Every structure is written in structure tokens, then in C-alpha cells.
Structure 1
Amino acid sequence: MQARHFTAVDLGATSGRVILATIGENGIGMEEVHRFADPIVETQGHFYWNFAAIYQSVLEGLAAIAARGIRPEAIGIDSWGVDFVLFGRDGGMLRLPYCYRDPHTAHAPERFFERMPREDLYKRTGIQIMPFNSVFQLDTLRRNGCSALEAAEKILFIPDALARLLTGEWVAEYTIASTAQLLDARTRDWDRDILSLLGLTPAHFGRMVQPGERIGTLSEEVQRQTGLGAVPVVAVAGHDTASAVAAVPAAEDEAFAYLSSGTWSLMGIEAPAPIIIEESLRLNFTNEGGIGGTVRVLKNICGMWLLERCRTEWPAMSHPELIAAAEAAEPLRSLVNPDAPCFANPRSMTEAIAGYCRATGQPAPESVGQYVRCIFESLALRYRQVAGMLRTLSPRGIDRLYVIGGGSRNDFLNRMTACALGIPVETGSAESTALGNVLVQAQWAGLVDSTAAMRRMVRASLGTTRRFEPTNKAHWQRAYERYLGVYREI
């Protein structure tokens, strides 16, 4: 098989990458050509994404590929969900987009529920209620008299906005749009009643495209700036978690759950249709779009965000050093609810963790190792809590958990997760988001014909995976009971 080249633009909550993928006889090879920060600008009391800098970094990555004399067959873009860019009538960007961690949406859901009850919003969209969802961001901007929103001709989610700058096309990719809480989960189209409450119509968004559809071709301007030719830009699963789940190395018909582990931990199952019932509402589970007509039934868990923020307060230490310090620390000294509101965006994460511990009658961590162990043990036990919720929703049960993303490299946490859940944990690719991005491009190019074929290609490329079996179940049962005893929404 002749080598085929594809490019994945993969934007995470802390950094972005341009990746060159090569598909050949030996599977899929992935090379990071360009890495860059996804910069957040703090000004006038708000947090924004420096979208122009992100776009410039993407162009630099594409130019680096062109400099090698390689012309990829396609380019795909994925990113985090919910955030969006406002464009004016002349096609120009009206302002920097808000970052989902900006505090302006504090208590926004409650304000929106005055006009549409929580239960009605959930039954329509199937989306987990979180203050930063696009529906609440837009409602907050409208309430605050945002001049950019008033002038907006188009509202594009982050990957769609990049596609616009690269191709000139206006699109709304389905999986990224599904995170906004603006779609009817069953029809998979815009909910006009919700849009009306926001003073919007479907015309404010681009044409809806599905993963695997061609968006357009690099504009002449971008061709000149990068040195690439008229390369197609293809709609992949634009939401990074949807791309990551596409690359889960599960066998066909396997009853599994996935954990996309990074800044956020996304734990869920694949379903053929939305699961929107009283129990999913009570447990606040989300139904987001997936590839191949699937729905990702999942819950967002605040993952390595806690550790990433703590690290900014400590002397520089590598991940192996942090894990070694955690392994040497006393087990189960302190536990927290990783999803407590106090951890959303505190000025000091270490103080937020210490304050939670003091408020729940526990000793506060005093060393780096104690902090890291507290975070990892708390995450493993939170995963057990969410897995228990998933079992009440899943029609098939859960026999195995696949950990994908950067967290797949964390053997210490994955071992604890297997023990906490009581089922085997198997790791997939640390590059699962970019890998899923490339797989959808490969399907567009005719190299694979189904999700099952994608996952066979993933397994062939990975070779052997790491597997962790549960042990010491009695110890972890006691740990879970203690975790529930200190679980708070502080």
C-alpha cells in the first residue's frame, strides 16, 4: 500500500498541535509537526481565547508540512466544545471569543430556567447542565447587552471558525454543535424554540455538516501563506472527545465504557440513540453527537485540570517525578470531589484543595506527593461513582473501561482506576483525539468503510495495549465509602 498523508489540527484546552499522519502497510504513523499554546487572554475581568494567535499557529504548522514537500490529501480540525466566535456582516471576527472558564456565566442556568424549565431544556437537548454551555453563554451575552452578539451575522464553534478562515466556508459540524445545548437530540437539528429565546435563528449558524463531509478547499490566500496547494478541508468529528472515542480500540459488539483522560475526563458509553430519561436528568448525563450515527452518553469530570493548575504553584517537576512522589505518599490521607465548584478556576488550586479538605474534616495536603496522591485517588473514586451511574443507564452493562488520551500513559492512576471500578482497564492511544480525526479523513478518502474498520486499524497500529486488572477489592470498597462520606458540592 502506498503511503497516504493526512493532517490533523488538534486543539486542546491548554495546547494545540498540527500532526502529520501517514497511513501505510504498517498502520498509522503520527508525527507532531508543530505544537503551540492555546493562549488565554485575561483583560477587563474576563478570559478570552486569543483566536488570531491560534489561527496563526495553525498556518505555521501547515507551512512546516509544505516545507517538507508533502501535500496531504486532507486536513481535519477538532477542538474543545461549547466556545464560539462571532462574525460580522462583512465576514470579519467581531471580538475575541470568551473562554468557557470565564466567570460571567456563574448562575446563568438559573436565569435561563426562568424562561425554559431545566427539565424541558434537558428533554429537548439531552445535554448535561453546565454553566459554560453555549446556550448559557449566549443568554448571558444577550442579557449583558453584548454589542458583538447584536451585530453578529454568524456564530461559529471553534473548529468551524478555523475552517471558515482556511476555506471561506460557513459550516456547523454536528458533533461540535451538539455540545452547545442548542440542538434537538432526536432530530439532530437546531431547536428553534431555544434559539428564539436567545434572539437567534438557524441562519446565524453555518450549514450543518456530518463527520466525513468535505467542507471546502484551502483558499488562495492560505495556499500562498502556507505553500500548500488546494488541499480539501474535511469535517471530522469536530468535538475532540468525539474524535477520541472514534479511536477507542474496542472490538465490535464489546460492552465497554471509555474514559478520555486529559484536562477533562470524559467517561461514557456509545449508544445508538439518545438516553433521555428521568434518571439521566437526575444524574446530569449528556448526549453528544458521535461518528457513524452514534450518541456519546457521558459525564464531564474535571480531570488533570487540578494537577495542571497545582503544577503552576510548584517547582518544576516531570510527570515521572510527580507520580513517584505520589506513590511514596500515605494512601487515602485526603480525598476531594474533583467536580466541586471550588475547583473550576480558583486563583490557587492548592489552596482550594486544602480548603476543601479542612471543610470536610480531613488533613490538608502538605507536600507535592500528598497533593498528587489526593488528586489521583479522588479521580479514581470519582470514576467509580460515575461508572455506577452509567450502569443504571446502559442497556448492555460495562465489562471493560478503555482509557484514551494523555491519561493512558499514567499507569499509577489507571491501576487505581481498575481497582476502584472492579473491572479491567485497558489503554488506547495517547494520541486518540488526533488519531480519530485522521480516521474520519481516511474514511472520507475511502481507506476504511465503517467505525468497526477504523477500530481494527487502531488495534493493528497499537499492537499490544496495557491492561490493568482489579485487585484488593475490599480496600477499595472502604476507600469508596470514605469518599462518599466527604463528597461535597462546595
Structure 2
Amino acid sequence: MSTSGAVGGAVTATCAAVDLGASSGRVILGRVGAGELSTTEVARFDNTPIRIARGAGRDRLHWNVLGLYRDILAGLRIASASAELHSIGIDSWAVDYGLLDADGELLGNPIHYRDSRTDGVLDQVRATLGAERIYATTGIQFMPINTLIQLVAARDTAALTAASSLLLIPDLLCYWLTGQRGAEVTNASTTQLLDVRRREWAWELVRAAGIDETLLPPLREPGERIGLVDGTARAELGGGELPVVAVGSHDTASAIVAVPTVTRRFGYVSCGTWSLVGLELDAPVVSEAGRTANFTNELGVDGTTRYLRNVMGLWLLQESLRTWADAGRPAELSGLLADAARAEPFRSIVDPDDPRFLAPGDMPARIAQACRETGQPVPETQAQLVRCVLESLALAYRRTLRQACALSGREVDVLHIVGGGSRNELLCRLTADACGIPVVAGPVEATALGNLLVQARAAGGSGVGDLTAMRALVAATQEVREYAPSGAASDFDAAARRLD
């Protein structure tokens, strides 16, 4: 462990953040201290799911988690060769998991949350266990991707029967680095297996769902030291004593740490493949109205609650681009966005949360069908479709933010868009107009920054005490852009009525 960077009592922590998204991963080298928060991307790699045919219509969509671990180690080798590290932290998407046998061996590559094995299982679970009971305990919105639903779908499989431990994706990767098993609480809260008020596993619900409670590992909080890099990984990373620290391992939890705000009256959109739209609260809001509106209470860093709802997000645009490329019609995104900005406004609007948009496939065809069913013009050009997607997302953000405020009693003065979507100028401008409040876009690397900040605090870094101090450091050091509403909210009102 490094103690470098200490001058006159000040400590600058040098840490490596592993940030895994649904389509790519990065290793970010960061320096954090008094007045300093800098990052260098040392590695980027694809995260491409693999579909495996098993015959008789039993194809499965898997994550290539072994390939991810290989790429992570390669990136960490670069980081550790570039600087003496204080620690490593890993964040990723939520809900998916790996199963280990009694010897700690992985029982197959984890199954992707977009796999069809959970089709119809959500309704079965609600009917069997009771939607009110599940929500009152976990505070989590009902989605077919939730870990609870996945485990019920897998209940009679050979892998689950043989398993002795379940680890969520970032915890699995930390286990391979350190040999220590556990479940970081911000990610565990997304599983729909955690008691959101007690911040512990909901054992009664776990048993009622027919899940072996011995599968679930001990919980850990952000900032806890998991262990030292061990085994072959230690040799690959220089052989020194290098701690792995639990961060907000759900990528949204880390991203919200890095919202550059000085006020509590803010909303956020963590914008990437998914868009997580909501508020930061001091305690969960587990109400019947919240359940009906399908809002979720995910645990955050320092005892906070992320009160939000998932919106399908830029997945619609990503899948459209992939579909066009596969059909021999590749399109460059910046040019498409420029053309979409000039396209006719509000020509077509869809609900991004329509279940038909969840699975991989021909997204333009699905959007066209949704437009036909609502009596709207079908997008005829790529620019028209992009305009449709972005205006639809802005409307969904508005609807979700307004509901979050009404259900929680919290008012907001500003909406922060963080993550990759903050670079999408057209989306940010449309969102400001739709919501009628200023939008602050950035930082793009919010997730990695939040990951690094929690690590730096664990290492005793200067200027990174509580969330307020962390966010002040982000605001002072990171580039953001503000979009003021142009007064077009009434146009969005009219567009929204098409979907009522």
C-alpha cells in the first residue's frame, strides 16, 4: 500500500477504479486529495454477451465474466505499473450473479438479465408471495430482471442445486482477486432479497421464495476493506500488499456520489444503457402509492436511499445503431444527432418502458410497430427515429421525476444528468425543456469518480470526508454544462397526452 502523496499532513490517494457497464468496461487510474480529483483511463474493453444454443428452444444469453476478469487484470497491470496504488474498487451493473460450488469454483458463466428465462415468472412470484409483502420488505420495483425473479426461474436447475454460494458480479470479481466472499449492500439492495429498512437480508422472504438462505454471503458497506489482492493476481500486480475496497458497487450508487451539487434539492438521471431517474433521500419511502407507481428504494453510500425508477434508457438507441450496422446501414452517432436536432419535433412518441423494448433485437421495427399501434407516423429515416427515441426519453424522465417528487414530498430545483448520456446535447436540451428546470450535464465519468472517492476516503485521502465534501470536490474539479429550459413544456404536455 502506498503512502505517497502525503505533504504537510495532506494525503493524496492513488486508486484504480474498475467500472463495468452493460456494453463495455474500463479501468480508471485516479488521484484524489485536497483540491485534486483527476482520472486517466488506462484500459477499455468490450463487454459482449454470448448466446449459447442448448437445443429445443433453450438458448441462453450469458455474460463472458471470465473474459471480463482477464481484461480487468490486464488493465490493473497497467495501472499498478503506472503508479503505486492505495487500493482497487469494482462497480458494475446490478442483479446478475455467479454461482460457486463448495470448492469455490464458478458453475458456468452468469446468465444475462435480458435472457428470456424469466418470462412469466414475475407474475408467478407476485401471485405466490404477494406484491404488497415483497414491496413492504424490500422497497424494490417489480422487474423481470430482479435477482429474486431470476432465482425463482432457476430454482430447479442443476447449477442452483449444486451451488454453495451466490455472488453478485462485482463481488464475484473481488472474490477472485482476494479470496473473500461477501455482498456489498448498495448492489445487494437491488436484488429484491434485502430488507431495505434494516439493511440486512430479508431472510423470511428468501425462505418463502424457496431460495436456500445459505447461498447469500455476509453483507459489507461501502468503504470496508474486503482483503488484499492474493494468489496469481497478486503476482501479476507486482506482488505487494494491495487492498481491495468495497465501493458503491452498483454503478448507480457510485455515480450518485459524484453528482456535483451543493444542494439537497436535486434530481438525477444516471444515464447510460439504462436511465435511473430519481432523488436521494435520507430514508426509504415504502408506501402503497410507491409500489403502485413501481418506484424503487436502492441503498446508497453513507446510509442514503436512492428513490428512483428504471427507464429503458439509451438501450433503444444502442440497439437501433446495432440493427442498422448489421443490416449494412451503419450510422455515425454525432451526425445522426445533428440530423435529429433538425428533424420535425414530436412527430412520433413511444413509451421507453414498453416491455417489448427490453430484449435484444430489431429496435427500429419495434418502435415502428409501437407508433402504428398508437396511430402515429412511423419514423421513415434514421434521424426521425433518433428524434423519437430522445423525445420519448425526455418525456419519461419528466414523468418519473414528477412522480418521485410527489411520492416523497421532496421538491427539486435542478436535474443532474451524469454518465455517458450527459454528452448527448440534444437529449440534455430536450430534458430541460420537458422538465422545465435547469439540467446540469456531467461529469461523464461520474461512476468512476464516485468509486475513486469512496476508495480515497478509506485510504485517508484529504478533502473527501462526507458526501457534501466529495460533491464539492467534484464540482470544483470536473467539467459540467448547464441547459436552461426554453419554455417548450407545453409541447411536451401535448406529446404526453398521446400515450395516455
Q: Give TM-score scaled by structure 1 length.
A: 0.95
**How far does the alpha carbon of each residue in 1:28-62 deviate from its partner, in whole angstroms, 9 at most, with x for none?**
11111111111211012110101111111111111
Letter in 1 for 2:391: E
CA distance in 2, matches of 1:262, 1:350: 19
CA distance in 2, matches of 1:135, 1:115: 13
Alignment of 1:148-227 (within 5 A): 148-227=159-238
Query: What's the counterpart of residue 16 of structure 1?
Result: 25
Which of 123, 128, 131 in structure 2 is aligned with 1:110? 123
Query: What's the counterpart of residue 403 of structure 2?
Result: 389
Query: What's the counterpart of residue 449 of structure 1?
Result: 465
Contact residue 343 and residue 352 of structure 1 kept, 8 A: yes
Shift of 1:482: 2.6
Shift of 1:198: 3.6
Contact residue 248 and residue 301 of structure 2 kept, 8 A: yes
Query: What's the counterpart of residue 45 of structure 2?
Result: 36
Which of 146, 157, 162 in structure 2 is aligned with 1:146? 157
Letter in 2 for 1:94: L
Shift of 1:387: 1.5
Task: Give yes or no for the alignment of 1:77 onto 2:77.
Answer: no
Shift of 1:67: 3.2
2:385 counterpart SS class? helix
Deviates more, 1:420-429 or 1:156-165: 420-429
Letter in 1 for 2:86: E
Query: What's the counterpart of residue 313 of structure 2?
Result: 303
Which of 454, 468, 472 in structure 1 is aligned with 2:487? 472
Letter in 2 for 1:468: Y
Query: What's the counterpart of residue 337 of structure 2?
Result: 323
CA distance in 2, matches of 1:281, 1:217: 41
CA distance in 2, matches of 1:402, 1:49: 31
Task: Give yes or no for the alignment of 1:63 onto 2:77.
Answer: yes
1:486 counterpart SS class? coil
Shift of 1:4: 3.0
Shift of 1:193: 1.5
**How far does the alpha carbon of each residue in 1:215-235 deviate from its partner, in whole angstroms, 9 at most, with x for none?**
000003111133352210000
Shift of 1:205: 2.1
Contact residue 170 and residue 205 of structure 1 kept, 8 A: no
Contact residue 326 and residue 372 of structure 1 kept, 8 A: yes
**How far does the alpha carbon of each residue in 1:315-337 deviate from its partner, in whole angstroms, 9 at most, with x for none?**
33333212111012111111100
Shift of 1:200: 3.4
% identity of equivalent residues: 43
Query: What's the counterpart of residue 107 of structure 2?
Result: 94
Alignment of 1:327-338 (within 5 A): 327-338=341-352
Deviates more, 1:378-387 or 1:312-321: 312-321
Task: Give yes or no for the alignment of 1:120 onto 2:133.
Answer: yes
1:114 counterpart SS class? helix
Contact residue 440 and residue 483 of structure 2 kept, 8 A: yes
CA distance in 2, matches of 1:107, 1:239: 26
Query: What's the counterpart of residue 474 of structure 2?
Result: 458
Task: Give yes or no for the alignment of 1:313 onto 2:328.
Answer: no
Letter in 2 for 1:224: A
Task: Give yes or no for the alignment of 1:275 onto 2:285.
Answer: yes
CA distance in 1, matches of 2:199, 2:165: 20
Aligned-residue CA RMSD (Å) = 1.4
CA distance in 1, matches of 2:84, 2:133: 49
Task: Give yes or no for the alignment of 1:339 onto 2:353.
Answer: yes
Query: What's the counterpart of residue 414 of structure 1?
Result: 428
Alignment of 1:240-251 (within 5 A): 240-251=251-262
CA distance in 1, matches of 2:73, 2:237: 6
Letter in 2 for 1:6: C
Shift of 1:26: 5.1
**How far does the alpha carbon of each residue in 1:285-332 deviate from its partner, in whole angstroms, 9 at most, with x for none?**
000010110000000001100000000122333332121110121111
1:429 counterpart SS class? coil
Deviates more, 1:22-31 or 1:255-264: 22-31
CA distance in 2, matches of 1:200, 1:362: 46
2:443 counterpart SS class? coil
Shift of 1:202: 4.3
2:223 counterpart SS class? coil
CA distance in 1, matches of 2:31, 2:435: 36
Shift of 1:359: 1.0
CA distance in 2, matches of 1:155, 1:347: 30
Letter in 2 for 1:7: A
Q: How many residues align?
A: 480
1:170 counterpart SS class? coil
**How far does the alpha carbon of each residue in 1:104-150 deviate from its partner, in whole angstroms, 9 at most, with x for none?**
111111111232111111111000000110000000100xx211101
Letter in 1 for 2:16: T
Letter in 1 for 2:270: S
Q: Give TM-score scaled by structure 2 length.
A: 0.93
Shift of 1:421: 0.5
Contact residue 207 and residue 213 of structure 2 kept, 8 A: no
Which of 239, 254, 260 in structure 1 is aligned with 2:270? 260
Letter in 1 for 2:124: R
Query: What's the counterpart of residue 9 of structure 2?
Result: none
Deviates more, 1:414-423 or 1:393-402: 393-402
Letter in 1 for 2:282: P
Letter in 2 for 1:264: W
Task: Give yes or no for the alignment of 1:435 onto 2:467.
Answer: no
1:54 counterpart SS class? helix
CA distance in 2, matches of 1:228, 1:303: 42
Unaligned runs of 5+ in 2: 7-11, 54-58
Contact residue 311 and residue 352 of structure 2 kept, 8 A: yes
Query: What's the counterpart of residue 370 of structure 2?
Result: 356
Unaligned runs of 5+ in 1: none
Letter in 2 for 1:460: A
CA distance in 2, matches of 1:472, 1:25: 40
CA distance in 1, matches of 2:213, 2:38: 39
CA distance in 2, matches of 1:344, 1:430: 25
CA distance in 1, matches of 2:239, 2:371: 54
Letter in 2 for 1:203: T
Deviates more, 1:176-185 or 1:110-119: 110-119
